[in-house]
A and B are shown apart, each in its own frame.
Chain A
């Protein structure tokens, strides 16, 4: 091919990358992300096409239906930039080719973006930040914000550059095993952490008392023979030994929850999650389930079950 007349500089590509932040701004039921897509392409189109007819045609071409994961649009933008550049330099790239690449890539890439970003990265980074924030630690929200945005911006820029350099060849790379491996790996890690999150953060405590058994003499702290003041507190803490030593009371109270925890901690949480999954599969709206759980919580509390 002959020497290129117009090329997109790094600055142009960065402008496109920044604008792709607003990809979903005019999300609509008819053509979804098309407005944001055309908006993102404008810095490049401005440079590549100078006549009014060319510009109008380019804009119309990029207002076609488009929808993918907002981050995974970056590599598609990169490829489209490369194609538009070739076209502006006289290569035989027609509208069908450009739209073909866009449509061909948006489906598979959305299938990668949802599990990787929405179902693995955000729940994990969010849970990490939230677990710190619940005790009022400012590090929680800051960690979430910084970590997420560094990852996101790096991803947007490097995948767009990758798409730009690879051009239309990228479709070969995508059908290879790597992308599929990333998606599957994310699903595995996501499920692993989800299992842990359910055990840790879904809290269900059954309060009914199953049994009251008296503790043998010597097994409980003899409060009458504890010295008063700070010395006494120390003595009690030593005897109690973080719950591993003597019991605090003469009578050992076993709740239903203690019995369940002896089977496996978090069993009730797990069963509740399975119930929610089943209901969701039965097309019950998550909103109905959420409101239902609040009602169940109130009723169970009133009758003394929780």
Chain B
């Protein structure tokens, strides 16, 4: 890998680190980060495919409440670097993902460290506020941000300086049963992200929508856009009918059980 490529990879990693906390432009999502690393190292197609596969796994990864998800930014950057250095092209995708996920877990500790350092930074901001110094707040805001970028850029740089031959021989030394098994695991691991999202959103009201979606997906002619459009339509119909039904019944005897209501009336 040329020096320019390496510098560009570190820059991509830096932006992934920034976005890992800001969550605005989504540079930390595998779909973007892996594509960019593929682009700057001349492995665009492999990068896109890795990004797509990893994105499917990371769909539901979001840190909400006590549930801590692996760090998508580090997973994306580390797996892309491993893929490029392994030199196996698209064949190395499932191995790269499997190797990167434990690294994504390690990334969580880095996040915690930076967020703790930021406590000290906002105390400095307090002092600047006493002085009415706008510039001071701005500078320290960016220092905090810089640390978040380095959180991914430094591990990326470290992975880059490991000799390519070492990465390659490590990947090649993995027996077929292990890599095939990991690929199978990678196909199933997607379920964890979905489970996290469902646990957040599920209520009695929305389960029927889940069932319809699951059954309809077996119709393979329907693309994801078509399924999304159906989802919107069903939700709109439900909300519309609900508001109509509510005004019609007047709410006095509406127990949500029409048959029960009729029996009660007798």
Contacts and interface: CB of A to CB of B under 8 A. Distances in A.
Do A and B form a real pair?
yes
A28 B144 CA distance: 10
A252 interface: no
A270 B192 CA distance: 11
A181 B178 CA distance: 48
A138 B48 contact: yes
A198 B180 CA distance: 22
Interface residues of A, number: 110
Interface stretch (B2-10, B122-130, B158-166): B122-130
B138 interface: yes
B209 A297 contact: no
Contact of A280 (B67, B70, B184): B67
Interface stretch (A145-153, A167-175, A213-221, A224-232): A145-153
A130 B116 CA distance: 34
Contact of A25 (B22, B25, B180): B22
B214 A201 contact: no
A272 B118 contact: no
Nearest to B148: A25
Interface stretch (A55-63, A87-95, A233-241): A55-63
A271 B163 CA distance: 43
A13 to B, nearest CB: 17
B211 to A, nearest CB: 6
Contacts of A108: none
> Interface of chain B, helix or strand or loop or mixed?
helix
Given A119-B200, A149-B26, A264-B215, A126 B31 contact: yes
Interface stretch (A1-9, A99-107, A182-190): A182-190
B168 interface: no
Given A190-B197, A196-B216, A286-B69, A272 B56 contact: no
A196 B192 contact: no
Given A181-B239, A189-B232, A53 B45 contact: no
A144 to B, nearest CB: 5
A130 B90 CA distance: 15
Interface in A41-68: 42, 45-46, 52-56, 59-60, 63
A137 to B, nearest CB: 7
Contact of B132 (A34, A59, A134): A59
Given A198-B191, A293-B189, A300-B184, A137 B213 contact: no
Interface string B174-207: 0001101111111111111111111111110111
Given A22-B141, A194-B197, A28 B188 contact: no
B37 to A, nearest CB: 12
A188 B199 contact: no
Contact of A193 (B144, B190, B213): B213
Nearest to A39: B141
B52 A130 contact: yes
B116 A28 contact: yes
A297 B137 CA distance: 50
Interface in A114-167: 114-115, 118-120, 122-124, 126-138, 140-141, 144-145, 148-149, 152
B62 A114 contact: yes
A250 to B, nearest CB: 28
B11 to A, nearest CB: 17
Contacts of B235: 185-186, 188-189, 192
B134 A145 contact: no
B209 A39 contact: no
B214 A196 contact: yes
A187 B134 contact: no
B183 to A, nearest CB: 8
B154 interface: no
B24 A194 contact: no
Contact of A21 (B24, B67, B194, B230): B24
Interface of A: 21-31, 34-36, 38-39, 42, 45-46, 52-56, 59-60, 63, 70, 114-115, 118-120, 122-124, 126-138, 140-141, 144-145, 148-149, 152, 181, 184-205, 264-266, 269-270, 272-274, 276-277, 279-281, 283, 285-287, 289-291, 293-302, 306
Given A195-B209, A287-B69, A297-B184, 4 more contacts: A29-B116, A191-B210, A192-B231, A265-B218
Interface of B: 18, 21-26, 29, 31-32, 35, 44-46, 48-49, 51-53, 55-56, 58-60, 62, 64, 66-70, 90, 98, 101-102, 105, 108, 115-116, 118-119, 121-122, 125-126, 128-132, 134, 137-138, 140-142, 144-145, 148, 177-178, 180-203, 205-207, 209-218, 224-225, 227-228, 230-232, 234-236, 238-239
